[in-house]
Amino acid sequence: MSDVSSPKSDIFPPVMTTIDDVLVQLDFIIDTARRRGSADGYFAALYRRVTETVRLRIAQGAFADGPRMARFDVAFASRYIGAWRQHERGETPTSAWAVALSCETFFWPVVMQHLLLGMNAHINLDLGIVAAEISPGASIQDLKSDFDAINQLLADLVGDVTDRMGTIWPGVRLLVKAGGGLDEEIVNFSLSRAREAAWGVATTLAAEPDASRRAVIIQGVDDVATVLGRGVLHPGLWAASTLAWIRLRERGSVAEKLDVLSK
């Protein structure tokens, strides 16, 4: 990787402490993807809009504990940004993120696959881990209402993502009508089930005082998320043929697609 493309060490602070810090890092990932023409910016563009929405909802008092949710948001984003940084340095992130980040320069995955790969790693693996870190022990139950509020925010964005995908590939709306849900019918990935599973991971980790046993649990979750990610990337012959047909009809360059996803 050339020096021009590689992130400078001073771009990334040792620790992100505010949502504004998170947005700066996401902007850098998006700008890097735009400059390189790499698909790893698609998830970053979606995630930036999620982060902006969380910041707005915190300011509006939408959560039971706004400061806690700000800490949650920073810790949650740090896992994704940390994985991206590891990949940039040629290191190996968690397996689920390694799958998600491994195809940034490949032609064939459609935009929705790239988004789902990021969502798989971030929700099926990272979400439960961060919830347990922010609210360990019995305090995990105090987080439930705000955890559900975050999940509702994610669910609310699904329709918006579909609309934006319609600009990249107009046929997506017909496919959604025919299949009842692009995420489930094409690549067998259920966002609702992933969020439910993440809460199960959170409560299990929060109740486990032994660090070594927590590490074993996390490894098991990563293994499952990795299998799911590979299923998103390689969904079988029929689905792969459909996705290839979609990919050939997607409109725009990487930069143009990033504009659609982020604005």
Please report the pLDDT score of residue 183 as a whole number.
Answer: 45
Cβ atoms 162, 219 nearer than 8 A: no
Place 188 in a pLDDT band, splitting at 50, 70 and 90. very low
Please report the pLDDT score of residue 107 as a whole number.
Answer: 58
Q: What's the CA angle centered on 110, arms 79 and 153, to 5 degrees? A: 50
Please report the pLDDT score of residue 232 as a whole number.
Answer: 84
Q: What's the CA angle centered on 192, arms 101 and 95, to 5 degrees? A: 25
Place 248 in a pLDDT band, splitting at 50, 70 and 90. low
Judged by average pLDDT, the poorest of 3-17, 70-84, 142-156, 191-205 is 3-17
